[in-house]
Structure 1
Amino acid sequence: MTAARASPPGAGLERPDDPDADALHRPAILRPRHGDHGGGGDAAPGRCRPVTGHDPSAARLRLGRRWNREPGTPRRRLTLRELPQGERALNPLLVMLLLLVLVAKPLVELGLLPRQTVGGMVLLTILAGLVGLAPAERRFRSLLMAGCIGAMGLLILAIGSADPRAQLPGILGAMLALSLLASAVLRQSLASGRITLRRIQGAIAAYLLIGLVFACAYDLVATFVPGAFAQNGQPLAARVLSGDFVFFSFVTLTSTGYGDMVPVHPVARTLAMLELLTGQLYLAVVIARLVSLEIADRGR
């Protein structure tokens, strides 16, 4: 009886032919082909087939190369074009605005945070918003524009001059930058197309930005007209990013009107009426626009 010839090591195993699949599963799980029951022990990596399933698409290949990298390979850095863009930038923008208005401002007024913290958060919000909402080919230009506007406001805020008129460039810079950001958010949120949760969040963010723009406008009026606003019967002094004016702005925008802070000068009263009308018309127009876009999308 003739003895059976021993199979060479690795027989019945196939070598990977697809270099992309090999790159996707590196280091790959090595498994013998079905029907090969011989051979315990270590198998050569070049003679084993990685478990790949079906052929991955190009998108999965890129994802595999990014996350299934070999040990010791440096992590690839994100570029400016890979930051959240378009609708994806509306959610983090809303979170930053809520933190600024509802968390940072009260802590600054209580003395728990330096006033420069609010200036830094405003600058960061403006930069993130303008860069995220700008088209990919215009992101660097938007970053430069937002940086120049915000840096001017931060510089005046850091100096902290006792003369309110010396803070005028900071007020104007913040007002201009926030206005540009509000218009960019509205353009993204109210554009034609399907209404998503992110677009609704963008409409809320634009509402908060309008309140901050009017707060800067009140600062501007109080700078040139001392005593234009009164709080509990006492004249209110101008101050960049003042919590009093932020409070008065949102109280007026939502037509609440507690009465503890009132405009005294005719210019201040006119500005308050303008914000009151803006708040009411914003809700009516934006809700109507969102509803009409949703109806049009369902009718297609």
Structure 2
Amino acid sequence: MASYASLKWRALARRHPSAFLLAAQLLSLLVYPLFEPAGGGRVVFGAFGVLVLALAVWVVNRSPAIKWIAWIIAIPAFALSVLSVLFASPGLLILSSALEAALYFYAASALIGYMMSDHKVTADELFAAGATFTLLAWGFAYAFVVCQAWYPDSFVGAQRPGEPRTWLELLFLSFTNLSAVGLGDILPMSPAARVLTMLEQFAGVGYVAAVVSRLIGLTMLRYPRP
């Protein structure tokens, strides 16, 4: 019975890897606030996310070259994330965040290529649309972490304006910026931070215009008009 359930879940994971990726991202988002006050929670969940992303890219992209690119980025990112927690090193945190941002952007581009590769919309591609959005949001959040470390006071918030922004605050900024909500309680101040913010705005608009609208159009074509 247990082996049958294991095979069933394995087959489901291979059929809908994007759904598992999206679920893992959203689950970490829900659980993270419990760990943030203790410190190190961002890195723990980031390291777990790196492994999930590397596996997702390996499943979606069957090319050995694509697979090894993901692992080459994921392994040092995971190691540096753990070391930055053990030794509380800002330098290691910057390196791990940069690698994690690169892996999230790489995985997002892989999923976009996967969704754009044919003219047939599958259930997994619909999950991939949601997963790609979270990948982009996480990737820019890690880029904001690097920016804040290199250029102090790059971001200012309504609360504790003179202090660095926490990981959750930067992730919140990334989500509001990518979705064009723009609540405005966290603002980019340095030139580098503003450039990153503009790039994310461009990525968000381009993603909706090029990918999401295409999936919606192809889905509507499946159902002929009466």
- The answer to whether TM tops 0.5 is yes
Instruction: Structure 1 unaligned segments of length 5 or more: list them.
Output: 1-66, 68-74
Query: 2:145: which partner in 1?
Result: 219
AA partner of residue 206 (structure 1) = T
1:208 paired to 2:137:
no
Query: 1:128: which partner in 2?
Result: 55
Using the alignment, how far apart are the partners of 1:200 and 1:183 within structure 2?
Answer: 15
Using the alignment, how far apart are the partners of 2:222 and 2:210 within structure 1?
Answer: 18
Query: 1:189: which partner in 2?
Result: 115
Using the alignment, how far apart are the partners of 2:123 and 2:59 within structure 1?
Answer: 17
Q: Which structure would you say has the larger Rg? A: 1
Using the alignment, how far apart are the partners of 1:188 and 1:292 within structure 2?
Answer: 17
Using the alignment, how far apart are the partners of 1:269 and 1:153 within structure 2?
Answer: 27
Using the alignment, how far apart are the partners of 1:88 and 1:265 within structure 2?
Answer: 41
The Cα shift of 1:136 comes to 7.3
Using the alignment, how far apart are the partners of 2:39 and 2:94 within structure 1?
Answer: 26
State the superposition RMSD in angstroms: 3.2
Using the alignment, how far apart are the partners of 1:159 and 1:112 within structure 2?
Answer: 12
Q: In 2 relative to 1, CA 140–247 (structure 1 residues): closer, same or farther, beyond 3 Å?
A: closer
Tell which has more relative contact order, 1 or 2 (C-alpha 8 A, sep 6+). Answer: 2
Among 13, 22, 29, the residue aligned to 1:84: 13
Deviations 1:142-172 (A, max 9, x none): 674354243234234333425x334221111
Query: 1:265: which partner in 2?
Result: 190
Q: In 2 relative to 1, CA 139–251 (structure 1 residues): closer, same or farther, beyond 3 Å?
A: closer
The Cα shift of 1:126 comes to 1.7
Higher helix share: 2
- Please list, as runs of the form range in 1=range in 2, the aligned pairs for 1:1-300 lying within 5 A after superposition: 84-85=13-14, 88-101=16-29, 103-111=30-38, 114-135=41-62, 141=68, 144-145=71-72, 147-162=74-89, 164-232=90-158, 234-237=161-164, 242-294=167-219
Using the alignment, how far apart are the partners of 1:137 and 1:261 within structure 2?
Answer: 41
The Cα shift of 1:275 comes to 1.1
Using the alignment, how far apart are the partners of 1:148 and 1:83 within structure 2?
Answer: 26
Instruction: Structure 2 unaligned segments of length 5 or more: list them.
Output: none
Q: Does the 8 A contact of 1:229 with 1:235 survive in 2? A: no
Q: In 2 relative to 1, CA 158–278 (structure 1 residues): closer, same or farther, beyond 3 Å?
A: same
AA partner of residue 174 (structure 1) = E
